[in-house]
Amino acid sequence: MKYEVLVADDHAIIRDGLKKILADTDDLVVAGEAANGTAVMDLIRARDWDLLVLDLSMPGRSGLDLIRLIKAEKPKQAILIFSMHHEEQYAVRAIRAGASGYLSKEGDSDLLLPAMRKVAAGGVFISPKVAELLATDISPNGNSLPHKLLTNREFEVFNRIVQGVSLTEIAEELSLSIKTVSTHKSNILTKMSLSSQVDMVRYAIDHKLLGSHLG
């Protein structure tokens, strides 16, 4: 049996790379590709897939919102997140939204195929790093850090602000108005008891939340 995989990533080099890797396996095949959230939903609605390998940052609807939308329409869809975001940034939130596994593109490449096979078979892939983050998250003091108070949308805005992305660009990436993004920024500063964008960047560095916002 070959697991049919849908690869969703806005970078062609990543999609091509995954196709080449899976071409050397006997049990996994890239049967579909998508470069944005709209294409992902069209393909998800069109047929069933054994596995969706999903990038978190793509044009249009993406990230945690896209995970929730997919699971709302196809509750049994197996999703493995394959992202440039470090585990500290999104892993726990992605799994809570419905993903069955999370891998950083900068992580151990030897984990990719085992993760894909486990999630495609209906399992959950938790790397040692993500397991540690999940354990911390459910501990009595797990939600005491200020950034844990942010909603998923606020966290996505926070993540982009600390990367130096402008409010206009954030609005375009997340399909929001600039006014809405500005409101999110104000809420972030209030919830985290910070006074400026510089404070946000310093906090992100101190808590290892600073990483590429691409992918």
Name the strands in the sheet holding 101-104, side by side, starting at the edge strand that comes first in the sequence: 28-34, 3-8, 51-54, 79-83, 101-104
**Delimiting residues of CATH 1.10.10.10 domain(s) in the chain:** 146-206
Alpha carbons 160 and 58: distance in angstroms, whole number: 13
pLDDT for the residue numbered 141: 56
Relative to beta strand 28-34, strand 51-54 is: unpaired
CB 69 within 8 A of CB 41: yes
Give dist(CA 149, CA 146) in Å, integer.
6
Distance CA 34, CA 22 (A): 17
CATH 1.10.10.10 correct for 3-138: no
Residues 6+ apart with CB under 8 A from 18: 5, 7, 9, 30, 53
Q: Specify the domain boundaries for CATH 3.40.50.2300 within the chain.
A: 3-138
The pLDDT assigned to 63 comes to: 82
For residue 6, list its beta bridge partners: 32, 52
- Answer for the pair 98, 60: CB distance below 8 angstroms, yes or no: no
Query: What is the pLDDT, as a whole number, of residue 10?
Result: 93
Fold of domain 146-206: Arc Repressor Mutant, subunit A (1.10.10)
Supply 138's token pair.
């459910």
Tokens standing for residue 91: 């892993």
pLDDT, residue 140, reads 55
Q: From the first residue on, what is the mean pLDDT of each consecutive set of 10 residues in the chain (215 residues)?
A: 94 95 96 95 96 89 87 96 82 90 88 96 88 69 75 89 92 90 94 92 87 50
**At which residue do the structure tokens 């069109």 appear?**
46
Task: List CB contacts of 138: < 8 A, sequence separation 6 or more.
Answer: none
Q: Rounded to the nearest 5°, which phi and psi values hold at 142?
A: -65, -30
